[in-house]
Chain A
Amino acid sequence: MRKFSMPALVVAAALLCAGPALASTRLLETGSTLLYPLMNLWVATYQKEHHGVEITTQGTGSGTGISQAIAGVAQIGASDAYMSDAQMKGTPMLNIPLAISAQQINYNVPGLNGVHLHLSGPVLAGIYSGQIRFWDDPHIKALNRSYAARLPHHEIIPVHRSDGSGDTFIFSQYLSFSTPSWRNGPGYGTTISWPAVATAVGANGNPGMVQTCKASPYSIAYIGVSFLNETNAAHLGYAALENRDGRFVLPTASTIGASARVMVAKTPRDERISLVYAPGADSYPIINYEYAIVNPHQADPAVRRQLATFLSWAIRSNGGNAAHFLNSVHFLPLPDSVVRLSREQILGIR
């Protein structure tokens, strides 16, 4: 066996001891898997420009992010959903929007994936509760007169997330806000009690949603916009959704932006608000803020300073909200007035 020389061991030991001393402050970000790819892009660039801070990222799920931020294990809990009043009553935390995301309704209907079917909240609620079972159901035909003859008499396979998810949160909000029977039934949350539908399938994570929808003809799924490249590669169709004004709109930068502009004015100081089902003729109905959940009380002054510096950078248009970061995951930047609100919250970290 080859032995290591003594000087080499001494150098190695010195490096091991010096490592942590050089990178003085460590921040842990954990949570949303939707934010995780963006966080990785951010942190890689940020650490090149900023020394004295070492940021670790983890994609563990929004619920884990929130609970670990509350427990003090992580300094940043990434979440697709804002915290509920009940949770805030337990431990008040800052809910700081970092970017705007959206969601598409994808489907795999052979022959129709190239067109954008029109779907509405009540029709989706009907599909996910088992009242609308076939693609050629009169309710679907009524929204798609030009393709009525091409809609197949085939049972719909509704795909939902099996894991807790911000995507389930905003999708079930769209159904709840547009359909009273859904609001009074399953309601909304990061996990909901799905109605029993014999063909329904739960899939794990957005990658699981894409794969299941791709592999199962006649399926329908809700998938985060950051997976647009994957759903396009899988040749899935995506729907034009009915908004609050009764117009059918596709998820594009302009319709997501239109929706955001309407909701920005309604955003309260603590920024906990649903952006789903916004009024306005051009508003795309399923969009949301992506949040950093942060404890406002940070005992360590170095952690407090580095945390505030990183978050301020993340929301700046020439920092983390720059187009080259957000475009890669199809997120939209925060409008100026929201940046101001977020900055005020960041100043509240003490």
Chain B
Amino acid sequence: MNNLTQRARMQPVLGVGTGIAAFASAAIVFLILIFLLVFAWPAIRFNGSGILTGVIWNIGNQYGSSTVTHNGVTAQAGASFGGLVFVFGTIATSALAMVIAVPLSFLVAVALVYRVPRKLQPLANTLVELMAGVPSVVYGLWGIVVLVPWVGNQLGPFAQAHLSWVPLVRGETGSGNGLLAAGIILALMVLPIMVATLRDVILAQPPTIFEASMALGSTTWQAVTRAVFPSVRKGFLAAVLVALGRALGETMAVLMVCGAAINQFPSNIFQAVNTIAAVIVSQLDSALTDASGMAQRSLAELALVLFLITLVVNVVARLTLRGADRSAQ
């Protein structure tokens, strides 16, 4: 009896508690957006559309005494906040990561479910999950010590010698810091999420799909691509979009291997790029010494752009999934 009244009393507490929690998560996103908008507002007025279309990023002359005023807001003389290079780099590195990670993660997930002996499966699963737990800076360190020199000294010269007919490979390959290194690092970082999601999606399918296909005489490859894949397409897409969301915002590892390009686009996959997240981190310290404050505000405006890009990816993800739901019915 006592126990029952206590339970009844707890009911509204739980209701209010979960209500606050649900509201808080939405409110936090909203507050971040408001903060970015308010803080970046002078930069939005100063830069206009230049933040998305301009190529030159210059916080201006820190040690000059002159300033420039545009639309009623002031920046250091010579300031130009063009973010197109970083928007391009953000999308290009993530896209390249997807090109590498999507087929790879599918193969790994299939191997984990159908190819690894049952006894070894827990071990294999743990190894993949461990990959997700490795801190980003560790990937970056491996990238700078092992991956970048390999790309710069082995892969680059090889590609120059033998693959110069491929459009995005041709040309000066430089040091190895660049789009390809960043794409590979990002692919490795998002792989565990994609593999884990895909493995669960495949395991959730009735095993009869695979077994029936095999019974009809398919090879494993045919059974996987023709019978299993079509039934897991939606989960597959979800895994890709979650991974893409992570790749777009990844900062430290990318900063360490991307070559931090400024004022230029790469002409092949080996050359330096820069992402929004990386440029915010690397430019913030100098931006803090801009007496006009415009450099900090322009970095906040870049953050706003990144926020909107990830928001668009999320919305597209939801719409696609809903579409997939409808077509499945």
Q: Does A24 contact B (CB under 8 A)?
A: no
Q: Does A57 contact B (CB under 8 A)?
A: no
Pair A85/B285 contact, Cβ less than 8 Å: no
Question: Interface SS of chain B: helix, strand, loop or mixed?
Answer: loop
Pair B292/A164 contact, Cβ less than 8 Å: no
| Given contacts A85-B65, A204-B256, A196 and B264 within 8 Å (CB-CB) | yes
| Cα-based distance from A199 to B261 in the complex (angstroms) | 10
Task: State which size class the interface on B falls in.
Answer: 35 or more
Q: Does B225 contact A (CB under 8 A)?
A: no
Q: Does A212 contact B (CB under 8 A)?
A: yes
Q: Does B284 contact A (CB under 8 A)?
A: yes
Q: Does A58 contact B (CB under 8 A)?
A: no
- Our count of residue pairs bridging A and B at CB distance below 8 angstroms stands at 150
User: What is the CB-to-nearest-CB distance from A91 to chain B, in angstroms, rounded to a whole number?
Assistant: 9
Residues 205 to 228 of chain A near chain B (Cβ within 8 Å): 208, 211-212, 215-217, 219
Pair B259/A202 contact, Cβ less than 8 Å: yes
Interchain CB contact (< 8 A) of A162 among B148, B255, B263: B255
User: What is the CB-to-nearest-CB distance from B204 to chain A, in angstroms, rounded to a whole number?
Assistant: 38
Segment at the interface with A among B38-46, B56-64, B99-107, B308-316: B56-64
Pair B63/A189 contact, Cβ less than 8 Å: yes
Pair A212/B175 contact, Cβ less than 8 Å: yes
Pair A84/B62 contact, Cβ less than 8 Å: yes
Which residues from B are CB-within-8-Å of A157? 174-175
| Given contacts A66-B289, A86-B292, A193 and B56 within 8 Å (CB-CB) | yes
- Scoring A residues 157 to 201 as 1 if CB is less than 8 Å from chain B, else 0, what string do you get? 101001111000000000000000000000111111111111111
Pair B262/A202 contact, Cβ less than 8 Å: yes
Pair B175/A204 contact, Cβ less than 8 Å: no
Pair A208/B291 contact, Cβ less than 8 Å: no
Q: Does A89 contact B (CB under 8 A)?
A: yes
| Given contacts A61-B285, A193-B58, A198 and B267 within 8 Å (CB-CB) | yes
User: What is the CB-to-nearest-CB distance from A16 to chain B, in angstroms, rounded to a whole number?
Assistant: 30
| Cα-based distance from A81 to B286 in the complex (angstroms) | 11
| Cα-based distance from A350 to B153 in the complex (angstroms) | 57
Pair A64/B288 contact, Cβ less than 8 Å: yes
The chain A residue sitting closest to B278, CB to CB, is A162
Q: Does A101 contact B (CB under 8 A)?
A: no
Q: Does B283 contact A (CB under 8 A)?
A: yes
The chain A residue sitting closest to B149, CB to CB, is A215
Residues 258 to 275 of chain B near chain A (Cβ within 8 Å): 259-264, 267, 271-272, 274
Q: Does B144 contact A (CB under 8 A)?
A: yes
Q: Does B328 contact A (CB under 8 A)?
A: no
Q: Does B152 contact A (CB under 8 A)?
A: yes
Residues 73 to 90 of chain B near chain A (Cβ within 8 Å): 76, 78, 80
Q: Does B177 contact A (CB under 8 A)?
A: yes
Pair B61/A187 contact, Cβ less than 8 Å: yes
Which residues from A are CB-within-8-Å of B288? 63-64, 66-67, 164
Q: Does A254 contact B (CB under 8 A)?
A: no
The chain A residue sitting closest to B289, CB to CB, is A63
Q: Does B282 contact A (CB under 8 A)?
A: yes
Pair A189/B263 contact, Cβ less than 8 Å: no
Pair B260/A204 contact, Cβ less than 8 Å: yes
Residues of A at the B interface (CB closer than 8 Å) are: 60-64, 66-67, 81, 83-87, 89-90, 155, 157, 159, 162-165, 187-204, 208, 211-212, 215-217, 219
Identify 24 residue pairs between A and B in the complex whose beta-carbon atoms are under 8 Å apart, listed by A's number: A62-B289, A64-B285, A66-B288, A67-B289, A81-B289, A86-B292, A162-B255, A163-B282, A164-B288, A192-B58, A198-B174, A199-B174, A199-B175, A200-B264, A201-B175, A202-B259, A202-B261, A203-B260, A204-B282, A211-B144, A211-B145, A212-B144, A215-B148, A216-B174
Known: A193-B56, A215-B153, A216-B175. 12 other contacts (CB 8 A): A62-B289, A85-B65, A87-B289, A157-B174, A162-B260, A164-B282, A189-B59, A193-B57, A194-B263, A199-B175, A203-B260, A216-B174
